[in-house]
Amino acid sequence: MNPRSIDTRSTWSRRRFVAGCALGATAFVAPGAFAEALVRTPRMTEGPFYPDELPLDTDNDLLIVGDATSPAVGEVSRLSGRILGSDGRPLAGALVEIWQVDRHGVYLHSGSQNAGRRDRNFQGYGRFETSSSGEYLFRTIKPVSYSGRAPHVHFAVTPRGGDKFITQCFVAGARENDGDFLLRRIADARARTSLIVPWEPVSGSDIGELRARFDVVLGTTPAG
């Protein structure tokens, strides 16, 4: 699929997202029913490219910056999932942050390689507070590889009353996965596989959107 821009602006506000989460919430399995089968998400390094200056726009739609009319270039993707405790209970009110390179492999960071090529229409960073079902949602682009790294999205999750947890989400089928030195450091095969998710076409999308679902299972469930 060729990289593309979106044709029209779509506002993905928290209010709109929470309203649309009802169906997803009803499908949630009762806590404890599958807790033993859950694989705790492995920690990964934050890396050197967490934004050194946060953008003025930090919402969950990374394709549009502020009131701009020109969207980012890339494969438009809906990235969603749940934040869960080790017992399978959804964590409401958790702050989820993501950051990733643009279509040219450039981070929103002054020290990123090829900084002069950065897509100024790509927000590069977003955050979202989880709903009562532990759900989050971002609209972004499918990540691309750069400098020996497999395509990935950085995640930082700060549960209510807990410490920040950092990991990364990878693309199933990406040829660079086997050679990614950070991904290979995770010795447990199930834990490593839990970070790799499919990016699949959205049925009926007239702009060729993709969707990916990445659940984060924390080691403990914070109180409250």
What are the domain boundaries of the chain? 14-21+58-217
Specify the 3-state DSSP secondary structure of 192.
helix
| pLDDT average, residue stretch 160-176 | 97
What is the pTM (predicted TM-score) of this model? 0.84
Specify the 3-state DSSP secondary structure of 160.
coil
Distance, CA of 89 to CA of 32 (rounded, Å) = 8
Q: Say if residue 24's pLDDT is above 60.
A: no
14-21+58-217 CATH pick, 3.30.565.10, 3.10.310.10, 3.40.1690.10, 2.60.130.10: 2.60.130.10
Distance, CA of 73 to CA of 121 (rounded, Å) = 8
Rounded to the nearest integer, the mean pLDDT of the chain is 85
Neighbours of 30 (CB within 10 A): 8
pLDDT of residue 111: 93
DSSP state, 56? S
Token pair 């169906």: residue: 23
- Segment 104-157, tens digit of pLDDT: 999 999 999 888 899 999 999 999 999 999 999 999 999 999 998 999 999 999
* Number of alpha carbons in the 13 Å side-chain half-sphere of residue 224: 6
DSSP state, 115? G
